[in-house]
Amino acid sequence: MRICGASVSLIENAVMPELSKPLLDGARFALRGLPLCLALLGACQSSWAAPSTLRFCAAGSPKSFDPANSDSGVDHIATLPIYSGLVDNDLATDRIIPSLAESWRISADGRSYRFKLRHGVKFHSTPWFKPTRDFNADDVLYTFNRLLDPKSPMQKAYPTISPYVPSLGWEKLIRSVERVADDEVLIQLNAVDATFLGTLGFAFAGIQSAEYGAQLLRQGKPQQLATQPVGTGPFVFKSFQPDSVIRYTRNPAYFVPNQAGVDNLVYAITVDRNVRTQRLKRNECDIAPITGSVDLAELQGDPNITVQSAPGMNIGFLAFNLKKPPLDQLAVRQALDMAIDKAAIIKTVFGPGGVVADSPIPMINWAHDASLKPPVYSPEKAKALLQSAGVKNLELSLWAMPVQRFYNPNAQLMAQMIQADWAKVGVKARIMTFEWGEYLKRVDAGEHDTALLGWNGEVEPASSAGQLACGAASASFFCDKDYDATITAAKQTLDEAQRKKLYAKAQQIAMKQLPWSPIANGAMSVAMRKNVVGFRLGVDGTIRFDGVSLR
């Protein structure tokens, strides 16, 4: 059937790209009862073009849109469209490139970074905030004060919990952040740090508006940073329905030309990986992360789908809470670790898309210590260790993530397999789970005995290795001064060969002490409809939509 020169199916695809079948059926009925040309608000004009909408089937709901309070990959994927950092990381190479800082100079001693800021950058104009000035040095200072100064007004009113600050050692590393001019900032360090410049491109360091922060403090609404964000990125946050949908619109004032390739960006939150696969096949979403080998094989055989894959720059692990006896005993942790049949977990949970991990640093990372070997699976030795430690009738809580990740595509199944393995050595495990935000909150509070978690690492190994630093949110509450000193030395060494030796030493300490039982490095795959143009999966698994368009 054709209406004013356009078929009903074409009009539905253009005007209502996000609607489910029941809603589309209702829309058809309503349209039949109206003059159709009038109902479509001018769609019949030959010059009319429907707004383009990119639909992403996201794997989970963010718990915050505030970068300084983000501590999971779900949060980062949700905040990346909104914010920009001083620098950025090229998705293909992880090379550091300009962003809000158009250039920078590093002092001869490597301890001072002078950033020249980009002119004419606009913060988003939203119903809850209307900026009166462009981005400038005050916004950089405000952002860093939130991260580093517990006495700053916003930090007092709304404390940050970013795990990156302690894991990267920024409290001790950064001596000062100074305003040189409206368009210039000087950051001085207490020591040389080979990782510092690159980490400024991480999601947690997204630059926020000092003017917006001051407005929220005056209104007594500092927590609004988590629900009504304002940034300078390619997309403007519009709305969020937890466990349902996030909506963004194109930022017409974005400072990088032609990077917002669609008018609307919609995250259809789809926790179940099988449902994501089917939604992609039915053209109900354009892009989706794929975390199951069966789903991946199904999509690779679909002529309407393309898949991008990369080895896993990640680590899935079981964290032991060292605050909970008898998990504070090394022999008990060793026993629990060697009682897990990790090869069986890889085969069952990951399929060909996973490998057994042997370190906190992923195998494909340049700093991985290839001399390490995973602990041998041995229920007999595990029983003997528990007996030698005087541990009998051990009962533990085993927390399973409610979300699917490249580093753990099915935490419930993994937990059940670990539960069965532990039962063979006389350990009883109670599997527990919570909504994702609540899960992380309770783990940070140390309520668990053991918890399945993971980390999407970066090319810079300090990010992954730093999760086991004293004070970091590692879920194990591990603190080893030798480990910390080794990581610090690695960050302060510019020679890569020497850095690799230091990171190797840190990995050996971690595997000897076993605050984590490393489980897997999971391959990363993202599938998309063939009309998606310009998407690139980052070498570290980053998923971004600037520069993406639809044919």
Please report whether residue 339 resides in a domain: yes
Higher pLDDT, 87 or 43: 87
What is each CA distance from 268 to 25, 241, 434, 534, in whole angstroms?
20, 10, 21, 20
Give 387-422 pLDDT, tens digit per residue.
999 999 999 999 999 988 888 989 999 999 999 999
pLDDT band, residue 457 (cuts 50/70/90)? confident
Q: In this structure, which long-range contacts are made by residues 220-223, counting pairs with CB atoms below 8 Å and at least 24 apart in sequence?
A: 222/154, 222/157, 222/158, 223/158
Mean pLDDT in residue range 424-431 = 97
- Same domain assignment for residues 224 and 361: no
Domain count of the fold of the chain = 4
From 74, 90, 531, select the one nearest 287 (Cα to Cα): 531
Alpha carbon distance 316, 362 (integer Å): 9
Cα 198 to Cα 97, 276, 321, 458, 516, distances in angstroms = 9, 33, 31, 10, 26
% of the chain residues with pLDDT over 70:
90
Mean per-residue pLDDT of the chain: 87
In a domain, 221, yes or no: yes
Q: Which helix (H) or strand (E) covers residue 550, if one does?
A: strand 549-550
Q: Residue 440 in contact with residue 448, Cβ under 8 Å?
A: no
Give the pLDDT band of residue 50 (cuts 50, 70, 90).
Answer: low
Pair 284, 151 in one domain? no
CATH number at residue 408: 3.10.105.10
Same domain as 148, residue 92: yes
Token couple for 354: 């996973």
Q: Is the pLDDT of residue 45 over 80?
A: no
Supply the pLDDT for residue 48. Answer: 41
Confidence at 473, pLDDT banded by 50, 70, 90? low
Distance, CA of 250 to chain centre: 22
- For 329, the 3-state DSSP assignment is coil
> Coil, strand, or helix at residue 294?
helix
Asked if residue 98 has a cis previous peptide bond (ω within 30° of 0), the answer is: no
Query: Which span out of 199-203, 312-316, 511-515 was modeled with the highest average pLDDT?
Result: 511-515
Q: Considering the domain boundaries, does residue 129 fall inside one?
A: yes
- For residue 295, is pLDDT > 70? yes
Task: Report whether 82 contacts 70 (CB < 8 A).
Answer: no
Report the alpha-carbon distance of residue 326 to residue 337 in Å, rounded: 14
CATH number, residue 220? 3.90.76.10
Residue 431 within any structural domain of the chain: yes
pLDDT at position 293 over 90 = no
Is 74 inside any structural domain?
no
484 and 398 in a common domain = yes
With 80 as the cut, is the pLDDT of residue 498 above it?
yes
Q: How confident is the model at residue 47 (pLDDT cuts 50, 70, 90)?
A: very low
Helix 481-491 to helix 496-513 angle (10° resolution) is: 160
CB-CB contact of 332 with 322 (8 Å): no
Structure-token pair, residue 271: 């926790």
Domain stop point among 199, 232, 265: 232
Residue 301 sits in the same domain as residue 174: no
**Are 126 and 192 within one domain?**
yes
Average pLDDT over residues 21-34: 36
Are 30 and 148 contained in the same domain? Answer: no
301 and 320 in a single domain? The answer is no
Report angle CA 490, 468, 168 to the nearest 5 degrees: 55
> Which pLDDT does position 30 carry in this prediction?
34
Q: Considering 217, 232, 247, which residue would you say is the last residue of a domain?
A: 232
Cα–Cα distance between 333 and 339 in angstroms, integer? 10
Band of pLDDT at residue 4, cut at 50, 70 and 90 = very low
Instruction: Classify 220 in phi/psi space as left (phi over 0), alpha (psi -120 to 50) or beta.
Output: left
Q: Which two tokens stand for residue 457?
A: 């690492």
Residue 118 lies in domain = 83-232
The answer to whether position 77 is within a domain reads no
The answer on 327 and 271 residing in a single domain is no
Q: Which two tokens stand for residue 289?
A: 């992360």
Phi/psi at 140 (nearest 5 deg)?
A: -65, -45
Phi, psi of 269 (to 5 degrees): -75, 115
439 found inside a domain: yes
32, pLDDT greater than 70: no
The pLDDT of residue 38 is 33
pLDDT score of 423: 97
What is the C-alpha to C-alpha distance for residues 175 and 109, in angstroms, rounded to an integer?
15
